[in-house]
Chains A and B, each alone.
Chain A
Amino acid sequence: MQEEEEFIKQLLDSKTQNVAFQKLLSTYQKPLYNHIRNIVLNHDDTDDVLQNTFVKIFQNLKNFKGESKLFSWMYRIAANEAISFLNQKAKKSGISSQIIQDKALDNLRADVYFDGNEIQLKLQQAIATLPEKQQLVFKMKYFEELKYEEISEILGTSVGALKASYHHAVKKIESFLTTD
Chain B
Amino acid sequence: MKEFKLEDNPKITTGFVTPDNYFEDFSAKFMQNLPLNETPEVKVIPLYKKSSTIISLIAAVFVIALMLPIFNQSPAITTSAEIDQASLENYLSYQTNVSQYDLINSLETEDLENLNETTTTTLEQETIEDLLVDNGNLEHYIME
Contacts and interface: CB of A to CB of B under 8 A. Distances in A.
Contacts of A164: none
Contact of B15 (A25, A26, A116): A116
A29 B16 contact: no
B3 A178 contact: yes
Interface stretch (A30-38, A76-84, A149-157): A30-38
Contacts of B13: 116, 120, 143
A177 B4 contact: yes
A47 B17 CA distance: 12
Interface in B122-139: none
A5 interface: no
A33 B30 CA distance: 14
Interface residues of B, number: 22
A115 interface: yes
Contacts of A51: 26, 30
A58 interface: yes
A25 B31 contact: yes
A120 B13 CA distance: 7
A54 B31 CA distance: 10
A124 B2 CA distance: 20
Nearest to A43: B18
Interface of A: 14, 17-18, 21-22, 25-26, 29-30, 33-34, 37-38, 41, 43, 47, 50-51, 54-55, 58, 113-117, 119-121, 123-124, 142-143, 170, 173-174, 177-179
8 contacts: A18-B36, A33-B23, A43-B19, A113-B18, A116-B16, A124-B14, A124-B15, A143-B14
